[in-house]
Amino acid sequence: MEAETMWKVSTGKGVKVAVIDTGVNPNTPSLKGQVLADEVPKAVAYKATDDYGSHGTSMAELIAGTGAGGGLKGLAPGAKIVPYRVELEGLKGEAEKEKTPEPWQAVRAAADTDAKIISISFGGMTTDKDEAAIKYAASKGKLLIAAVGNNAGPGRSGYIDYPAAFPYVIGVASINQSFHVSKFSSYGDSVDLAAPGEGYPGWCDATFRSYCDNRHGTSPAAALTSAAAALIWSAHPDWTVNQVTRSMIDTAGRPANAKPSKYIGYGLVRPRLVLKNPHYNPGPANVDPLAKDNGGDLLAKSGTKPSPTPSASASTASQAPEKASGGATSAAGSSAESSNDSNTLWIALGAAAAVIVIGGAGVAVMRARRAR
């Protein structure tokens, strides 16, 4: 991704990313000054900065970490994080679960703020309330990005998790350092983009004493895609969600003349191709590039309205990239299907890992029903 080159044009400054997860610890060296805890709507602010699993903090650092103090430097170190702590697997105690918001409540709340991007690195949002929250966020012009899940591999179906499978949400798959699709990465019609998802350090646990090496999953891939969007939106603050989405799809790396794939969607996200062209044409502001697959006009309508003003109410939505002919995108409940494609499809792309990482030892794998 040539991060150092991109940072000469954009670091994500001025863009806020809502990270909905296990909470975000604002006191790690890499996140000091990066977390806007006061901007979380009060209705869903319970212990937003008390990360009970370390997953949310790791994702926030991949997006906007500064690298200070030997910490992890994210792809958009100039962006800011708005933390949301929701009930995911790993949260203990009935009292805590009672007070902690559900994911749909956090999505709705984030939709009513001035955060442009909602980053969701987990699955399990399958209810009507979840889907309604996603649609609400889409109507507010938010860019929703979610991990597709780690459900592939021997004896596994490869099914795509929700909310990535919902319309209006960009589903992100994982590739490794050799540009092969990660063996664990879910696949199907709702994969829209791919990003690096292997070989990163992340906090070992909620004590935040040390990093563990070789973290992997579609979670980091979604976080890096959120950071990529922040870089683009920072450089072009007047663009709408439709234009940012279109620019990421149009510049994604994939084999020449290839149709969208159920493993990598439109390809590997490459924000540098947008940033290096000061005259890049993002297309019309009020046309959803994925309207066919989204099945509605929420994003198109959002492109004709001014940005939402911050408020403490609750509701949001997300957006899913449309597939060109030959590949669908956000088919709810998409499932794995056999084909001649390979789950280790090689992608010939001139890209490298998007983050700079320092320190860490050992191995840890986040195991949660929703954290991906």
pLDDT tens string 220-260: 999 999 999 999 999 999 999 999 999 999 999 988 878 88
Where residue 305 falls among pLDDT bands split at 50, 70, 90?
A: low
Phi-psi region of 201 (alpha: psi -120 to 50; beta: other; left: phi over 0): beta
Rounded CA-CA distance 159/169 in Å is 16
What is the pLDDT averaged over residues 276-299? Answer: 93
**Stretch among 13-27, 43-57, 162-176, 346-360 having the lowest mean pLDDT:** 346-360
So what's the pLDDT on residue 364? 26
226 in active site:
no
Rounded CA-CA distance 173/372 in Å is 11
The answer to whether residue 219 scores a pLDDT higher than 60 is yes
What is the pLDDT averaged over residues 189-193? Answer: 95
Q: Are 108 and 136 in contact (CB under 8 A)?
A: yes
Q: Considering 30, 54, 55, 121, which one is annotated as catalytic?
A: 55
The answer to whether residue 301 scores a pLDDT higher than 60 is yes
Arithmetic mean of pLDDT over the chain? 85
Phi, psi of 231 (to 5 degrees): -60, -45
Rounded CA-CA distance 278/235 in Å is 9
What is the pLDDT averaged over residues 26-44? Answer: 98
Radius of gyration for the chain, computed over Cα atoms and rounded to the nearest angstrom: 18
236 in active site:
no
Q: Which residue has the higher pLDDT, 314 or 121?
A: 121
**Stretch among 89-98, 161-170, 217-226, 313-322 having the lowest mean pLDDT:** 313-322
Contacts of 342 (CB under 8 A, 6+ apart): 181, 263
List the helix and strand counts (H, then E) for the chain: 10, 8
Q: How do residues 75-126 score in pLDDT, each as one tens digit?
A: 999 999 999 999 999 999 999 999 999 999 999 999 999 999 999 999 999 9
What is the pLDDT averaged over residues 284-303? Answer: 92
What is the pLDDT averaged over residues 29-37? Answer: 98
So what's the pLDDT on residue 258? 82
Q: How do residues 339-352 score in pLDDT, each as one tens digit?
A: 333 333 333 333 33
**Stretch among 179-188, 219-228, 326-335 having the lowest mean pLDDT:** 326-335
So what's the pLDDT on residue 115? 98
| Highest mean pLDDT, choosing among 155-164, 251-260, 284-293 | 155-164
Q: Is 335 helix (H, G, I), strand (E, B) or coil?
A: coil
Tokens of 361: 């030892």
Q: Are 182 and 268 in contact (CB under 8 A)?
A: no
Q: Are 318 and 330 in contact (CB under 8 A)?
A: no
Helices 103-111 and 128-139 sit at what angle, rounded to 10 degrees?
10
Contacts of 96 (CB under 8 A, 6+ apart): 52
Q: Considering 21, 112, 288, 293, which one is annotated as catalytic?
A: 21
Where residue 313 falls among pLDDT bands split at 50, 70, 90?
A: very low
**Chain centre to alpha carbon of residue 29:** 23
Q: Considering 119, 185, 219, 318, which one is annotated as catalytic?
A: 219
CB-based burial, 61-81: b 16+ in 10 Å, e otherwise? bbbbbbbbeebbbbbbbbbbb
Task: Express as a percent the part of the chain with pLDDT over 90.
Answer: 77
Where residue 293 falls among pLDDT bands split at 50, 70, 90?
A: confident
307 in active site:
no
Do β-strands 198-203 and 193-196 pair in parallel, antiparallel, or remain unpaired?
unpaired
**Stretch among 11-25, 148-162, 322-336 having the lowest mean pLDDT:** 322-336
Q: How do residues 115-155 score in pLDDT, each as one tens digit?
A: 999 999 999 999 999 999 999 999 999 999 999 999 999 99
Where residue 162 falls among pLDDT bands split at 50, 70, 90?
A: very high
Task: Express as a percent the part of the chain with pLDDT over 70.
Answer: 82
